[in-house]
Amino acid sequence: MKVLVLYDYPASPGGLATQGELLCRGLKELGIDVHPVNFESAQEKEWYYRWFKPDVVLGVGYWGHTPDLILHPQQYGIQPVPWLVADGYIANYQEILNGLPLILVTSNWVKEVYIRDGINGDNIEILPVGCDTDAFHPIDQTDPKVTAVRESLGVGPDDIMILTVGGDAASKGALEVMQALAINNTKAPPWKYVCKVWPQARTEIQNLADFKLANQLGISQNIIYTMNRVSRTFMPYLINACDIYAAPSRLEGFGMPQVEAGACGKPVIGIKAMGMMDTLVHGETALLAEVAQEIILKEAILGTESGFHENQRIIFKNPRTVDYRASVNDIANYLMDLMENPELRHKLGQAARKRVVENFNYKAVAKRFVEIISAQLGIS
C-alpha cells in the first residue's frame, strides 16, 4: 500500500497538522510506504502523483478543503480519501462528497453532522485522531521541567492549576469555566486558571472580551493568559503542570487536548456532547457537564474559503445546531469536587491514561486506517 498524506506539512503544532503527522509516523512504523505533503502545494502534490503513484491520497482537513484534498488528486486519476472534522455544519460540496467511496471522520458526532447535512453515511467510517502516548505521559510535578512551567506562569506550589488549551479560550469553554470559578471562588482552595491560546488576530480580540468578563466576575487576579507559539515538545510539560484540565468546548469534533490531558493522567472536565462522547467517559475518566444551551442558525454568510462567492448568504432548509454551551453549575460542582479531592483527581487521571493508551495511541490508529482501506477499497 502506497499512501500520500495531505496536511499542513511541515507540521505546525496545530491539531490538524498533528493529526496528519502522527498518522504518517504510525504508517511508517507499520512498514507502509507513505509520504507527507502540504495539502495546498499543487505542484508538489502533482510531483508525488507522477513518480510515487500512490494507491490512495489521504487528506486531513474539513469539508471546506475539498478542492485541495479531493478535487486535485481526482484530476490526476488518484483515489482521494478525506479524513475530515466538522465546524458545526456542512454548507457545500455535498455532491462531490457523496461521490466518494470512502470518507473518514474523527468521531460519531462528526459523522452525524455530515449525514444531517446531506452526506450519505454508508461510506463514512470513523477514525479517531492518534495520540503519542510515549510523549504525553504522567510526569511528577516535582520534575524540574514541570516546576519551571508553573514558575514561569506565576502559579504557586500550593495553587490548584486549571488549564485550557486552544486556538482561543472561549471556543474551548473558558468563559463557562470562569463563571463556574467565580461561583466557587470564596470556598475553593487557592487556584489559578491558565488559558494557553495561539497568537493570532482573532484571539487577541477574544482575549480582550475574556478579560472583561474576568474583571466583571472579580476573579481577574487568578486568570492567566499565555499567547505564545510553542512546540509539541513543550506541551506534555504544560499539561503535566496542571491539576485539572477544563475544556467544556462549544464545538469539538474530537478533542485532541482533552485526550492528551488524559494521556498525562489528568482529570478532564468536558461537555456531554460532540466528539467528547467518544473520547471521555463520564464518572470514569472525566466529568462531563450537561448541555445548557444549543446555538441554532437559520442562515450563514460564507465566502471563497467554503467554495462560494464572497459574502454569500446561505439559508438552511432546516435550522442547524452549530454550537453548544455547557452548564455552568455542573462545571462549578465538578471543579469543587476535583479541587478538594486529590484522590478523585488521581483516580480519574489513571483511568483516563489507560483509556487513551488502549484506544487512541497513534500506532493503533494507523493500524485501523490500514484495515479500513483494505476492507473498503480493496487496497493492501
Tell me the HSE value of 121 on the side-chain side, using a 13 A CA sphere. Answer: 12
pLDDT for 204 beyond 90:
no
pLDDT for 187 beyond 90:
yes
Domain annotation covers residue 221: yes
CA distance 121 to 128: 17
pLDDT, average across residues 124-135? 98
Tell me: do 256 and 163 sit in the same domain: yes
CA distance 205 to 194: 18
Domain count, the chain: 2
Tell me the HSE value of 192 on the side-chain side, using a 13 A CA sphere. Answer: 19
Tell me: do 109 and 244 sit in the same domain: no
Domain annotation covers residue 309: no
Tell me: do 238 and 157 sit in the same domain: yes
Domain annotation covers residue 285: yes
Tell me: do 149 and 257 sit in the same domain: yes
Domain annotation covers residue 21: yes
User: Where does residue 308 rank: exposed (0-12), middle (13-18), buried (19+ CB within 10 A)?
Assistant: middle
pLDDT for 333 beyond 90:
yes
Domain annotation covers residue 321: no
Domain annotation covers residue 298: no
Domain annotation covers residue 302: no
CATH number of 76's domain: 3.40.50.2000
Tell me: do 148 and 218 sit in the same domain: yes
Tell me: do 118 and 167 sit in the same domain: no
Tell me: do 61 and 21 sit in the same domain: yes
126: left (phi over 0), alpha (psi -120 to 50) or beta: beta
- Boundaries of domain holding 109: 2-130+361-377
**What share of the chain in percent tops pLDDT 90?**
84
Domain annotation covers residue 299: no
Tell me: do 126 and 187 sit in the same domain: no
User: What's the confidence (pLDDT) of residue 13?
Assistant: 83
Tell me: do 29 and 48 sit in the same domain: yes
Tell me: do 34 and 152 sit in the same domain: no
Q: What is the pLDDT of residues 267-304, one digit of tens each?
A: 999 999 999 999 999 999 999 999 999 999 888 888 88
User: What's the confidence (pLDDT) of residue 238?
Assistant: 98
The H or E element that residue 44 is part of is helix 42-51
User: What's the confidence (pLDDT) of residue 303?
Assistant: 84
Tell me: do 149 and 281 sit in the same domain: yes
Tell me: do 227 and 106 sit in the same domain: no
pTM, full prediction: 0.94
